Amino acid sequence: MTPLYTIRIFLDGFDLVICDLPCSGLGVMGRKRDIKYNVSRDKIRELAILQKKILENAVRYVKKGRKAYIFHLHYDKGRE
């Protein structure tokens, strides 16, 4: 796969890389009912492919021997 974007001087240069990946919103569908009308299997599949491309590109910037962690954060303004 071709990387989305490469800055060669930074390859293998970081101890930690954080990615804010695009989300489907399915986890908040109960509160945001419009999501179920705007989502489809094809859109979810396309989103998964994009997420994978972003992660494949991001791990190239993590120093050799370091680990890459993937996590998902959900910030709910109503629960501050």
Coil, helix or strand at residue 13: coil
Does residue 25 have a pLDDT over 80? no
Q: In the predicted model, is pLDDT for residue 76 greater than 70?
A: no
Q: Average pLDDT, stretch 56-78?
A: 77
What does the DSSP assignment read for 29-41? TTT-TTHHHH--H
Residue where the block lists tokens 């419009």: 34
Q: Please write the tens of the pLDDT for every residue from 27-65.
A: 777 777 787 788 888 988 998 999 899 888 888 889 988
Report, as an integer, the average pLDDT of 7-33.
81
The span from the CA of 59 to the CA of 8, in Å, is 13
d(CA 71, CA 20): 9
80 has pLDDT over 50: no
